[in-house]
Amino acid sequence: EDKVVQSPLSLVVHEGDTVTLNCSYEVTNFRSLLWYKQEKKAPTFLFMLTSSGIEKKSGRLSSILDKKELSSILNITATQTGDSAIYLCAGGSNAGNNRKLIWGLGTSLAVNP
Amino acid sequence: NAGVMQNPRHLVRRRGQEARLRCSPMKGHSHVYWYRQLPEEGLKFMVYLQKENIIDESGMPKERFSAEFPKEGPSILRIQQVVRGDSAAYFCASSPRGDSQSPLHFGNGTRLTVT
């Protein structure tokens, strides 16, 4: 059965710390790995990764995919209280439809001032 | 460009009543997905629709639940004769295409509470 596992489940850090969130996947006909940030409402899109070893970066956030290890990491440097959220990872297959996204349970990140 | 709009944000229903959840996709998006989220279960796919068509409803219970996406107007997720176990956050997402290369854009969700 396809699955996506995220770790840790929750994390508490201080402002300024750097964090690494992990996502491992077992997805048949894997095609893409997506990261979303969910605060109190809508998950918002962060990154889509399809190629191994190519880092995607947006400000203090970056992510990379390792197809050999079937995993991805999301790094956040110089964390701020506004980074507090649940970070969701989803694996997509090449079955051709978004319905084939398999979601992890998320990592709950709390950044304390 | 308005994002995905869902209403209501909160909905309280008594057991046995009907719940109607609405979703207007982003402009230009013709693919709509409904997800249910419970704290310990994560996001679970329910149904995928294109305009006037249900493409995949494999994640939706066969009884009491139905969805539509008419030619005009929002997509509707309907839950008849609600039970306490239906209490959850229901998210709608849209995309311009139906392939997994096209990221989903989510609405803010409808939190359904069944009393």
* pLDDT one-digit tens code per residue, B39-89: 777 889 899 999 889 998 989 999 999 999 998 899 999 999 999 999 999
Using an 8 Å CB-CB cutoff, list chain B residues near A36: 106
CB spacing of B100 vs A96 below 8 angstroms: yes
Please give the Cα distance from A63 to A46 (Å, whole number): 9
pLDDT bin (cut points 50, 70, 90) of residue B103 is: confident
pLDDT bin (cut points 50, 70, 90) of residue A33 is: very high
When the pLDDT of each residue in chain A is averaged and rounded to a whole number, the result is 93
Rounded to the nearest angstrom, the minimum Cα separation between B109 and chain A is 6
CB spacing of A99 vs B56 below 8 angstroms: yes
Q: Which residue has the higher pLDDT, A68 or A96?
A: A68
Please give the Cα distance from B88 to B112 (Å, whole number): 6
A47 token code pair: 């990154």
B100 touches chain A (CB under 8 A): yes
Report the residue of chain A nearest B43, measured CA to CA.
A103
3-state secondary structure of A96: coil
What is the pLDDT, as a whole number, of residue B36?
95
- Say whether pLDDT at B1 is over 60: no
- The number of C-beta contacts closer than 8 angstroms across A and B is 71
Please give the Cα distance from B31 to B34 (Å, whole number): 10
Query: What are the helix (H) ranges across B1-115?
Result: none
Cross-strand partners of A48: A34
Kindly list the strands in the beta sheet with B5-7, ordered across the sheet, starting from the edge strand earlier in the chain: B5-7, B19-24, B75-79, B65-68
Provide, rounded to the nearest whole percent, the portion of chain A with pLDDT above 70. Answer: 96
